[in-house]
Chain A
Amino acid sequence: MAHNSEVKAKAGKYLTFRIAQEEYGLEILKVREIIGMMPITRVPKTPEFVRGVINLRGGVIPVVELRKKFGMETEADTGETCVIVVEILKKGEPIQVGILVDSVSEVIDIAAPDIESTPSFGVELDTQYILGMAKTKGAVKILLNIDRVLTGEEIESLKEGVK
């Protein structure tokens, strides 16, 4: 696959979380903090997957709803719904973005042999957001390339969408 040479999941610590019964992993170095649900202000004229903005100790950061981003059905927030604040690079500048997930699971160590490159699903599924798949404790976890998820066309559409 073309992406293999480009992006490769590295062994290390990952924060795992759930969206719609699926386990995902996020490089722990990208994670700034995890916060419980708080009131989110919707910003008009932004793409649908942008739930809005929150006040994080005085800083205003956007919150992206991963369910909508991944084209899944949305469900009402539960007590476990939370926001993972990640730091990504946008045009070389670090920015903070919150991602809305169903629940946060744990931080796990993933060894290199446990990581497999993304299987090809054909054209139906866009796999460029995925670093790789990890098999741990008998379950498969999808390791996300969060920069890809939130930047590139994503942030572009954050800009474009507000037109």
Chain B
Amino acid sequence: MGKKEISELIEKFSLDFVMADSSSPESYTAAAEKAKALNEIFITGGGEAAEICAAINGLMDKFVRGTADSSDSKKVTEKISMLLSKSDPHQLTEKIAAPAREEKEETPAAGAVPEISTDLSLVSDFIHEATEHLDNVNSKLLVVEANPGDEEAINSLFRAFHTIKSLSGFLELTELHALVKEVENLLSGARKGAIAINTAVIDVLFSAADAARKMTEELKKNPSKKTGLITQSGLEAVLDMVQSITGTSVAAKRQKLGEILVQDGKAGETDIKEALLEQKQTHEKIGDVLKHHNAVSTADIEGALAEQKVTEETVLRVKETVKIDLEKLDRLIDTIGEMVIAESMVVNDASMSEGASAAFLGNVNHLNKTTKMLHELGLSLRLIPAAGMFQKMARVARDLSRKHNKKLNFVYRGEDTEIDRTVVEKISDPLIHMIRNSIDHGIESAAERKAAGKEETALVELCAYHKGGNVYIELKDDGAGLNRDKILKRAVENGIIPPGAQPAEEEIFDLIFRPGFSTAAIVTDTSGRGVGMDVVRKNVEQLRGRIDVSSKAGEGTGFTVVLPLTTAIIEAIAVKVKGEKYFIPSLSIVESARPEPSLFSTVNNKGVMLSFRNSLVPIFSLSGLFCGGGSVEETTGGEKIIVITEENGRQAGIAVDEILEPQQIVVKSLGKSFDKTDGIAACTIMSDGKVGLILDIAGIIKMATAG
């Protein structure tokens, strides 16, 4: 048997062991068989490994016989990691050194255990794995909530907590271990059917998962901390919640049909009691008994049965992925970008056009194609599916709807849509705000909905798709819609629009993105702590995207966020000012023009305005802002081209000397030595290898108006 097979066998063994159900001895048989096989391999070699294997084998016997306790489980995990920690198990057999004797099974080596448990790489691996499992728990909990009978999902939940339990025990994270152990007990009960999954249980599981996640995050900040990851009271609170379910597990089966009917006022308590008495004799289903008595209508029974099943139905899919160090990935993408530039420098070299052989040109062409492919591939590495983000949103929506006591059906589509990971990170919070606004203020209460002739259960839809090189994220609800009149009234109050003005519908809705326009104050009368939509728009614009709103009174509100596929590459237009080339992101540009001199007007002979499509737009001169000067003459005189830009809903014109064709550019940070460069957002490397600067339009407007 080769080295590879041996390490595979060890891994298989540890997997079987971890996956085994601690409450059923039979499930350990697979692991025990592998332990035996390992023992046979190593026994001939003697030494450290043989001792470890013999110890494991002995312990596994205990497990199969069902006499093992939790300390044995810990011992086995320790032994496994001892075996695994040596890259080559064969080395173990050759080392028959005296110090190895310390690691005998009976006295779990005093020196060895702390050494393993303080190993930071183990902690970091644990954090990684635990986070992954907790993510999985989150999505699986939503599945179970939608379908409490989904055994596969419950098993998967159990496995996740089980793994965290084993690992945390091994790392001596006692608090975390205590928590997940309780959760595991609960899930073990659920698997056996002793505990029925209902919303209360799901809530507890969510809180427990959140607490576990918090502890993991705390551990990440402070990897050498073993305890104190959570406050004692915090831990006790969660433990109490979990234990309250495991403790009362037998009594608290899933909510009884009768209870639901009484709760909904569909049947009187006495009816149910009578029916229950009768049921004892006839052994009929409680629903049928009630129907015979004509106490409850068939429709009501069906409704209650459906409720028992829980309405929310969201199918979740998690894609398999490979773990890669993020830093390495970024470096790879950077290097590919470098190669693309180097390649273009070679291809554009002057000597290429003179006397290069046909074969050479062919080879260069080949290089060019390969580089392009590599480039595209490299960029796609940054992309991740929206599913993870959507699951997070589903969780947020669920919690909010429960908090506000609103019936909600949260649906998402297009979770396979791939989005740049930076975009995902930055768009999550704005999306949460929007969903919160939707549920807080957009959706009416069940009674109001009923009165308006709508379904009581509100619908909130989130979807993502690609269109024309951009990513679209849409959020729609079927709530009350934006209150046009209130927005208008508020805008007049704030002096944003003159009284009596009749702006178009879109313009009114666009006002909610203005700072100081809390949606809460507009859409409902409740004093909301809702974050203003201006922050959302700002976030979106930082990603070089835009956000639109549409709404119909009584029918709902829809937001469309348009984002570039990746923040790493943008489309920009190169402009020239005094011989220097600058790039303006295409998304900020409304249009460019070479206006008649008569269209310019000066203010105090200092500022310049341009009448452009019936509105006055301030014009700034780049050379003026960047190089000093910038007289009126310079801004308007000669062959100046004005690029009209829009940022934060404000238009401004920028005077440039020349405008070049639009191109895709790779965005690079200006480096750490410049923390703040007003007017410059970032830079790019141009095809000649020189650095090109990308203008920050918002910053330029700020600069111009401040100075």
Question: Within 8 Å of chain B (Cβ to Cβ): is A162?
Answer: yes
Shortest distance between the CB of A146 and any CB in chain B (Å)? 14
Docked Cα-Cα span, A62 to B627, in Å, equals 19
Known contacts A54-B691, A55-B689, A60-B683; decide if A155 and B678 are in contact (CB<8 Å): no
A-contacting residues, B640-678, CB 8 Å: 668-678
B-contacting residues, A25-78, CB 8 Å: 38-39, 41-46, 52-55, 57-62
Q: Which residue in chain B gives the minimum CB-CB distance to A41?
A: B691
Question: Within 8 Å of chain B (Cβ to Cβ): is A20?
Answer: no
Docked Cα-Cα span, A46 to B680, in Å, equals 11
Question: Within 8 Å of chain B (Cβ to Cβ): is A95?
Answer: yes
Docked Cα-Cα span, A66 to B693, in Å, equals 23
Question: Within 8 Å of chain B (Cβ to Cβ): is A143?
Answer: no
**Residues from chain A with Cβ under 8 Å of B673 in the complex:** 61-62, 90, 95, 97, 155, 158
Question: Within 8 Å of chain A (Cβ to Cβ): is B403?
Answer: no
**Residues from chain A with Cβ under 8 Å of B670 in the complex:** 43, 53, 60
Q: How large is the interface on A (under 10, 10 to 19, 20 to 34, 35 or more residues)?
A: 20 to 34
Question: Within 8 Å of chain B (Cβ to Cβ): is A93?
Answer: yes
In the complex, identify which listed stretch (B286-294, B330-338, B522-530) lies at the interface while the others stay far away: B330-338
Per-residue B-contact encoding for A87-100, CB less than 8 Å = 1, 0 else? 00010010101000
Is the CB–CB distance between B671 and A44 below 8 Å? no
**Residues from chain B with Cβ under 8 Å of A163 in the complex:** 678
**Residues from chain B with Cβ under 8 Å of A43 in the complex:** 670, 674, 677, 680, 693
Is the CB–CB distance between B671 and A45 below 8 Å? no
Question: Within 8 Å of chain B (Cβ to Cβ): is A135?
Answer: no
B-contacting residues, A134-152, CB 8 Å: none
Docked Cα-Cα span, A162 to B673, in Å, equals 12
Docked Cα-Cα span, A43 to B693, in Å, equals 8
**Residues from chain A with Cβ under 8 Å of B672 in the complex:** 90, 93, 95
Is the CB–CB distance between B689 and A162 below 8 Å? no
**Residues from chain B with Cβ under 8 Å of A53 in the complex:** 670-671, 683, 691
Which of the residues A46, A60, A158 comes within 8 Å of B691, measured between beta carbons?
A60
Shortest distance between the CB of A7 and any CB in chain B (Å)? 22
**Residues from chain A with Cβ under 8 Å of B691 in the complex:** 41, 52-55, 60
* Interface pairs A-B: 6 shortest CB-CB: A44-B626, A41-B691, A58-B338, A39-B690, A162-B677, A95-B672
Is the CB–CB distance between A60 and B671 below 8 Å? yes
Docked Cα-Cα span, A33 to B683, in Å, equals 23
**Residues from chain B with Cβ under 8 Å of A59 in the complex:** 671
9 contacts between A and B (CB under 8 A): A42-B580, A44-B679, A53-B683, A62-B673, A62-B674, A95-B672, A97-B673, A155-B673, A158-B673
Shortest distance between the CB of A1 and any CB in chain B (Å)? 30
Which of the residues A44, A60, A162 comes within 8 Å of B668, measured between beta carbons?
A60
**Residues from chain B with Cβ under 8 Å of A44 in the complex:** 625-627, 679-680, 693
Question: Within 8 Å of chain B (Cβ to Cβ): is A10?
Answer: no
Question: Within 8 Å of chain B (Cβ to Cβ): is A3?
Answer: no
Given contact pairs A95-B673, A159-B676, a sample of 12 additional A-B residue pairs in the complex whose CB atoms are under 8 Å apart:
A41-B683, A41-B691, A53-B683, A57-B338, A58-B334, A60-B683, A61-B671, A62-B673, A90-B672, A162-B676, A162-B680, A163-B678
Residues of chain A having any CB pair with chain B under 8 Å: 38-39, 41-46, 52-55, 57-62, 90, 93, 95, 97, 155, 158-159, 162-163
Residues of chain B having any CB pair with chain A under 8 Å: 334-335, 337-338, 341, 580, 625-627, 668-680, 683, 685, 688-693
**Residues from chain A with Cβ under 8 Å of B668 in the complex:** 58, 60
**Residues from chain A with Cβ under 8 Å of B580 in the complex:** 41-42
Q: Which residue in chain A gives the minimum CB-CB distance to B339?
A: A58
**Residues from chain A with Cβ under 8 Å of B677 in the complex:** 43, 45-46, 162
Docked Cα-Cα span, A39 to B685, in Å, equals 12
Shortest distance between the CB of B689 and any CB in chain A (Å)? 6
**Residues from chain A with Cβ under 8 Å of B626 in the complex:** 44-45
Is the CB–CB distance between B680 and A41 below 8 Å? no
Which of the residues A38, A42, A90, A162 comes within 8 Å of B678, measured between beta carbons?
A162
Docked Cα-Cα span, A59 to B676, in Å, equals 17
Shortest distance between the CB of A11 and any CB in chain B (Å)? 30
Known contacts A54-B691, A55-B685; decide if A158 and B674 are in contact (CB<8 Å): yes
Q: Which residue in chain B gives the minimum CB-CB distance to A151?
A: B673
**Residues from chain A with Cβ under 8 Å of B675 in the complex:** 159
Which of the residues A42, A58, A159 comes within 8 Å of B674, measured between beta carbons?
A159
Is the CB–CB distance between A41 and B693 below 8 Å? yes
Docked Cα-Cα span, A57 to B336, in Å, equals 11
**Residue from B673, B674, B685, B692 whose CB has the most chain A CB atoms within 10 Å:** B673
Q: Which residue in chain A gives the minimum CB-CB distance to B338?
A: A58
Known contacts A55-B685, A58-B685; decide if A162 and B674 are in contact (CB<8 Å): yes
**Residues from chain A with Cβ under 8 Å of B341 in the complex:** 55, 58
**Residues from chain A with Cβ under 8 Å of B334 in the complex:** 58
**Residues from chain A with Cβ under 8 Å of B627 in the complex:** 44
**Residue from B625, B676, B689, B690 whose CB has the most chain A CB atoms within 10 Å:** B690
Known contacts A39-B690, A42-B580, A162-B674; decide if A58 and B683 are in contact (CB<8 Å): no
Docked Cα-Cα span, A45 to B580, in Å, equals 14
Known contacts A55-B685, A162-B678; decide if A41 and B690 are in contact (CB<8 Å): yes
**Residues from chain A with Cβ under 8 Å of B688 in the complex:** 39
Is the CB–CB distance between B689 and A38 below 8 Å? yes
